[in-house]
Structure 1
C-alpha cells in the first residue's frame, strides 16, 4: 500500500489550500452576516454563489465523482486528502466545490443506476450546481437503521407509481433549490425476500401530494448551509413509471451502493474537522493564561493535544487504507474497513472536538467559534448512514464467522 500523493493530487491540493485560505475562511463570518439579512433562512447567502464561481474558475468542481465522464475522475485515494481539507470548513467548502451531501450520493446514484433520460433531466443540472436534491429514506415511525422496516409504499397504478408515506431528517429538503427527492419505499411489502421489497423512485419536489412539513433541528441547529433536514410527507404523490430507478426490488441494493462512498466521504471530512479543532486548541492554549501560567504549560492540555494528534494520524491511515481497498478490490472487498472507519472516525473526532470545546471554556459552546457546530456535526454522523451499533454488529458477525 502506497499512500503517497501523486502529482495530480498534489497540484489539486495546492490549489484547494489556496482557495480555502484566500476565499473560504474569510467567507465564514460573511456568510453568517448575510444570512441574518435574508428573506428566508433557507436561502443561500450571496457569498456562496461567489465561492462556487471561484471554485469552478480554479478547476475545483465535482472532485468527488470517480467517473471522468461526469466528474474529476479521481480515485478514492486521490480524493481523500482533498475531502479532508474541505472538512475544515464543512458548512461552506463542500458546497462551494459541489461536493456536498446529499447531492454527492444522489449524483453517484444517478450516474450508476439512472436511465439516460433520468441523467439528462436530473444529473446534468446537479453536476452544474443549478439545482439541489434530497434522499428520502429515514422514517420516524420505524427503526430506520434496519432499512427493511421502511413503511412508505410505492404502488403501481397503470402507468404511474403512487407514493404514500412519511419521512424525516431528509437532508437538503428545505433548500429552495431542491428540485428532486429520491424516495425509497416498498413496492412488494409481502415479498419473501425482505431485501427485495424496496424500490426507489424519482419524485420532483413540485409533484402534487408532496408536503415539506417542517425543518428538523440537530442539537438545536437547523443546518442552513446544507439546506436543512426536513419532515416530508407523500400524500399519494404520483409519478410516471419511468421515474423508477433501476428495477423494482432493487432499492435496497442501490441504497447500499450509494451509502458506501458516502460513508468514506464523511470520514475524510471528519479528519479535516479534527485538524481544525486541533489548530484552534493549540492557538487557544498559547494565547490564554490561567492560574499564572499559559494553558500551553498545563500538563492536562499537553495530554489532550498529544492524544488528538495520535488519534488523527491513526484515523487518517485507516481511511486511506479503506480508500485504497475501494479502488483496488471494490466496495465489497473493503466492507470491513468501511465499517471500521464509520465506527471509529465520528466517535474519535467528536472526542477531539469536545476537548477543544473544554479548552475554550464558554467560548467553545458559543457562536464565536465553530466548535459547537463541528461537535454537533460529528455527533450526528454517529447516526447518519447507519448508527454505530449496526456497523459493530455486522463487523463482529464477519469476524466471528471465521471461528464458527
Structure 2
C-alpha cells in the first residue's frame, strides 16, 4: 500500500469540534436520546423520596415490570415499497384533535417532582398539540392549568371523594374552565401499598429530617426551587381544609358505585371517560351505559400489584367494545414504539405518565418538551419503518404480542 504525508487541509476537513454548550440544562437534555436517559438524569437531580414516589409502584412492583416487559415483547411486521416520505401522526379522540396518538396522563403531587409542575406539562402539551390531564390531587389549580394551556385541550381526572360535594365542586370548576373531557377514576377504593414511599418517610410537603438534609447536599438546585417558590399543596383542594392524610382519605372511597357514575354523568357537559378498567365484562357494561371512552389502566402499577397488563387486555377489549366506545391505554409506555403498537392493536389513544415526569424532573418545561419530542420522533420513525403513512393504516397484522406469562389450566 502506497503511503503519503497527510495534507493539512484534508485534516482540517475531519476536525469536528463543536462549540461548547454553556447552558447546563440544555446540555444535559441534548444528551438524552431516550426516556430512560431522562430517567437517569432525573434520578441524579431529584431527592430520593420525590424520585421514588414517581418511579415506584405498589408492593413488589410486579405490575409495572410486567407492563413494560409486555411492550418489550412486541414483534413488528413491516411492509415494503411504500412511500413514507411523509407520515401523519394526528388523530381524533374523545371528540377532539390531537397532533400525536398520546397525551399526558394525570399525576398527583406534580410540583413535588419539579416546581414548574403541571404548568410545564400543560404548556408543553399545548405547544405539541396534545391533551393534558390534571389530577384531582394536582398541585396547580384547574384555573392555573387553563392559563398555562389556554387554547389547547385540557382534561380533568376525578376522584369521587367521601365528601361528594368536594368532587362535585371540582366538576363544576373544570366545566367552567372549558375542560372538554372528564376522566372518572375507578381503581382506587383504597390506596395501594407503595412501599418505597413508606420506607422513605414520604410526605407532602417534604420534611427536613437527617436523611433529607443529607440528600440536599447533592441536590441543592431542587431544594432552592422548592424553598423559593409557592407552597406545595393540593391546589384544587386547599379550601377543604384538613391534613394531607385526611385529604387522601377523602379521595379514596371504597363505597363508590355505578350510581356515582350516573350522577357525575348527569353533571358533566363534556365527554365522560372511565379510567382504570381492567377486564372485558366491565368494559362491556360501561359501553352499554354509553360512556364516551374507557382507559385500560392498572394505575401505573400503583394500586393492585399483579393486576392485569393493560396492553395485553387491549385486543380483546377492542374486539368486544371498540365499535361502541373509544378505548385508550396506559401503564408502562416508555417508547414511541409502545404507542404505535397500542394503536395497531386498536387503541384510539395512549397516555404517558412517568415518561413525562422523568422529563419534568430532568429539566422542567424544557424537559417535558424533550420527552414529548423523543416519543414523537420514535412514533414517526416506527411508522416509517413499518411503512405506514397514517395511524389509520396500522392494524393488528403489524404486531405480535409475544407471550411469557401463559395461564395454567385450572
Q: Which bracket does the TM-score occupy, shorter chain normalised?
A: under 0.3
Higher strand share: 1
Higher helix share: 1
TM-score by length of 1: 0.25
Relative contact order higher in (CA < 8 Å, ≥ 6 apart): 2
TM-score by length of 2: 0.24
